[in-house]
Structure 1
Amino acid sequence: MNNVPTSYLLWLFWLAGCAGIHRIYNKKYVSGLFWLCTWGVFGIGQLVDLFLIPDMVEQHNWKMRKRLGMTGAENYLAGGFQSPNQVYNPSVHPPVLEVNSQTVQPGNKSLSNEDIMVKLAQAASNHGGKLSVTRAVIDTGLTFEQVERVLQIMLEKGYVVIGNDPIKGHIVYDFMDIS
């Protein structure tokens, strides 16, 4: 996922004659190349982008979440968002979690939340007690939605803590008693 500070840093390349790098970073290739060839539409477009960068990054990240099938991208409207350009604020739009469902249907057999917790703990033990959602999906064969839902339950019960990978920066669930 892209971030706003990096986009602003790339925006500064304009001062060195390379306008539009921030647009290319946010997958706006055509306009990025146009900005590069016209010095940011003679500087005017580059200055306007100072105000548009947060929306550009959010729109790019929204498209990436949707493409990867991550929960929340398809529910933007259900969460009160009118477009992918609106910034997510958990205090205004708290995530909607369905923790009442006791069984899920991966493949042909039903698994309870407890069974999924065991699968996630086993996957975490193979990775030093730390597990990302993507790694959990790969190791367990469950869907992103199932993994995210059960990890949220485990977080609420205190079985895991949430943090960030110090190198890549992505969200990691730490199963504290597994090392």
Structure 2
Amino acid sequence: MQQANSGVAYILWCLCFFGICGGQRLYTGQIGIGLIYFFTIGFLGIGQLIDLALIPNMVDKRNLYLRGLHSNGTPSVNQSITLNIGDIPQLQQLQAIQLQAIQPQTLSTGSSMQKLLKAAKEHNGQLSLAQAAMYTELESEHLKELLQEATKIGYAEINNDPNTGAIRYHFDL
């Protein structure tokens, strides 16, 4: 799957020096505003200047959209998340968990999964990443793989805490 690249978007932005504005918007999938930029010379250059700061976010949104299109038919983690400006680090963490390939663990997954499920039962079916680490005593990478496996097989769903916005794993127990 081909992803958008910030470097390419910045190069397309530089085309404005030759009178071609909006290339970065077209590249990140914003066809309508890209055409408007093209015909208005980037809103008389103001929009082009603003885009210098917005390009990384536009590329991230485009890549997130492309990953959703090319998912394997499983429900997207991002469908249940409401994003706020302060959620960007959590979104990146979710993306890392979502994209990480499930590899066979040398540890006993069954016993780790049992510990995870027992911890979830003690906490009314809801765990944070820190709680899961505390109860399973797994290293970060193995814990992420275990939680991803739990979501893949339908044991858990990933949501945000409505009060704090923190990532929570909800188990159907």
TM-score range, shorter chain: 0.3 to 0.5
Q: Which has the higher contact order (CA 8 A, sep 6+)?
A: 2
Normalized against structure 2, the TM-score is what? Answer: 0.47
Normalized against structure 1, the TM-score is what? Answer: 0.46
